[in-house]
Amino acid sequence: MAAKRIAEGRTGSPTRGLVVGGRSDPPKRYLASVRSAPMHRVAALGAALLVAGLVGYTVGIETAYPGRSFSVTAVMVGIGLLAVGRSAPEVTP
């Protein structure tokens, strides 16, 4: 059980990492703070597209308007961008 906690970065010490292959992996808390601003912008764009697509779909149910099928596309793209923007970046040595 202790090895699993160490591998997950839950050692109780924020500065202690797991040594694998001669290099020290940073703790999980550090990885969460490394997120860059462009990734936040991608997540914000995804959230905006998701909300706009849901609003467009809801309006399209009541009123037929040209291009309402793009609201479904906006929802799908918004979900994808939101997932990509919220994912943790890869840290390479």
Question: To the nearest whole percent, how much of the chain has pLDDT over 70?
Answer: 55
Higher confidence at residue 30 or residue 55?
A: 55
Coil, strand or helix at 32: helix
Please check whether residues 42 and 82 belong to one and the same domain. Answer: yes
Q: Are residues 7 and 24 in the same domain?
A: yes
Q: How far is CA 72 from CA 23, 38, 76, 79, in A?
A: 46, 25, 6, 11
Q: Within a domain: residue 68?
A: yes
Q: What is the CA radius of gyration of the chain?
A: 20
User: Can you tell me the mean pLDDT for 65-71?
Assistant: 89
Structurally, the chain folds into a number of domains equal to 2
Residue 54 — pLDDT band, cuts 50, 70, 90? very high
**pLDDT at residue 30 greater than cutoff 50:** no
Residue 15: domain span: 1-34
